[in-house]
Chains A and B, each alone.
Chain A
């Protein structure tokens, strides 16, 4: 996601030059081609193997459409909820002081570290038929939403946190001295500054939610009305419909690429923030403001 920064920053200058840059570049391209591009090419090839008409038929067959629709709607709900709570949590971690803050800060990355199938299993224990609090949402569409909330929580938090740390508090003080209240300061001063981070976090969380598989699998199951697209693809593979599975995969792939492109655009726009505005990978921030 640092395409812009990389190309701008890497203008030729002296520094470490490994021998055989050409060889190095060749190896990098080879590694990526064999491991990443070749499989994706095979996927695209298979999806179109029986023509565009068949591709379209596979993508628009009722159950495929139903799963795509559920995936899109659930992902949208999830990123909106996590954008809100993610911003609140980031604010607490940067601006507030409370005991156990560093623990909370570390725990935010739990969904990145915990295997998705384990996430599914632990969610079904808490919110399933043996729920100790008596709430059973397993095998429903709500379970899809909860599972996706779990796995995408860190994205907005980690994208907003560095922006809040860098933010100049003088602006807020100026607004306050001019008589702005808390809500006005948030809406007119803080929020616009955080927007690139929130936007990038949303796009990354959305990409993750679109493709999520493990955490949904046991908790929401593969019933016709709880089947997200990744689970649908899995079932198509098992029933031998490779072309159908590949066609829906290509649709998911394109949607993910769109999300990545949006993150790239946001980062280009917000420019100078090199380590902020949507880390794809977790970056815990421990810096205290005081």
Chain B
């Protein structure tokens, strides 16, 4: 990587940027083109069909439940890991990373086995009339599982960076722990937390593998947008698959913008 010589610099540029262009950008641009090739109405109709709207609604429900839960857990857990040394910190830290490394299908299967007809909670669950699999609760559990680490992982380094001086000062001045948290700690870590929330939301919006195993993907009932995309594609309804894909791709692009914005805030 000779920084000085012009030919090798150009060679690296062509290689690196060409790779990004062909691998990432070309397919993305093509899907936008193909979706709107025959105007905006075919994809729009597909998304605003009853099944499409239901999928959108269910996806938003997943976000509305999984994101707040994992945010509260994430902040609390990061505080414990950074500010309170305790036995087992390293183990908790390792467990939190598990969802990043486990295949979504394996996560789905684990929930499937735990809550299924031969699972550990049977026949208790059915007797209580609670349906976890092939219904919303199972999909929520899957969404929480896959998106669990993001807020913790983004908050831990920020907490380490801000140190404890301001918190100590607040406490010396008589603030109690809750006041210190709300007035000093949380404002200092807010951009890091927000960054984690954005990543959590993106993951929940887009989760496919884990949710597909536990949901059964029943149209109009247990279908989130990603499952809707797959179903429409399998049924050869391409405008439907493209329309929902473009909607998800736009959400992904907004995620990138939000990440960029928050990173600048955090660095500032």
Chain A residues whose C-beta falls within 8 Å of the C-beta of B207 in the assembled complex: 115
Tell me, in angstroms, the Cα distance from A107 to B25 when the chains sit together: 8
- A residues 171-230 with Cβ under 8 Å of B? 172, 176, 181-183, 185-186, 190, 204, 207-208, 210-214, 217-218, 229-230
Chain A residues contacting B80 (CB-CB under 8 Å) are: 21, 24-25, 28
* A185: chain B residues within 8 A (beta carbon): 1-2
Q: Is the interface of A mostly helix, strand, loop or mixed?
A: helix
CB contact under 8 A between A111 and B24, given known A6-B156, A16-B164, A211-B106: yes
Number of interface residues of B (CB under 8 A): 115
Q: In the complex the two chains form, is B263's CB within 8 Å of A284's CB?
A: yes
The closest CB in chain A to the CB of B145 belongs to: A35
Q: Per-residue CB proximity of A47-86 to B under 8 Å, as 1/0?
A: 0000000000000000000000000000000000000010
Binds A, one of B38-46, B47-55, B123-131, B241-249: B241-249
With a cutoff of 8 Å between Cβ atoms, the chain A residues found around residue B97 in the complex are: 1, 260, 280
Q: Chain A: which residue is nearest B170 at the CB level?
A: A16
Residue numbers in B under 8 Å from A260 (CB-CB):
94, 97-98, 100-101
Q: A219–B30 Cα gap in the complex (Å)?
A: 15
Known interface pairs A104-B20, A260-B101. Does A110 touch B95 (Cβ–Cβ under 8 Å)?
A: no
User: Are B101 and A2 interface neighbours, CB within 8 A?
Assistant: no
Q: Is the CB–CB distance between A17 and B83 below 8 Å? A: yes
> A15 an interface residue at 8 Å Cβ cutoff?
yes
**Closest beta carbon of chain B to A192's beta carbon, Å:** 13
Q: Are A16 and B199 in contact (CB under 8 A)?
A: no
Does B119 contact A42, Cβ atoms closer than 8 Å?
yes
Q: Considering the complex, give the chain B residue whose CB is closest to the CB of A183.
A: B2
CB < 8 Å: which of B34, B202, B209 contacts A214?
Answer: B209
Contact B20 A108 (CB under 8 A): yes
Which residue of chain B has its CB nearest to the CB of A214? Answer: B208
B241 touches A121 (CB 8 A): yes
CB neighbours of A4 from chain B (8 A): 90
Name the CB-closest residue of B to A91: B1
Which among B89, B99, B100, B260 has the greatest number of chain A C-beta atoms within 10 A? B100
Q: A100-131: which have CB < 8 Å to B? A: 102, 104, 106-119, 121-123, 125-127
| Chain A residues with CB below 8 A from B34, complex form | 125
A141 contacts chain B at the CB level, 8 A cutoff: no
- Chain A residue contacts of B264, Cβ below 8 A: 286
Q: Does B173 contact A (CB under 8 A)?
A: no
Q: Which of B24, B208, B252 has the most CB of A within 10 A?
A: B24
A-B contacts, 27 listed (Cβ < 8 Å): A2-B157, A5-B160, A7-B89, A16-B185, A25-B84, A28-B92, A39-B141, A40-B98, A43-B109, A98-B17, A107-B20, A107-B24, A111-B24, A112-B202, A115-B225, A118-B229, A121-B229, A182-B1, A182-B4, A185-B2, A214-B209, A233-B105, A252-B106, A274-B160, A281-B100, A282-B259, A286-B260
List 4 extra interface pairs beyond A13-B164, A104-B17, A264-B94, CB under 8 A.
Answer: A10-B81, A91-B16, A96-B9, A233-B106
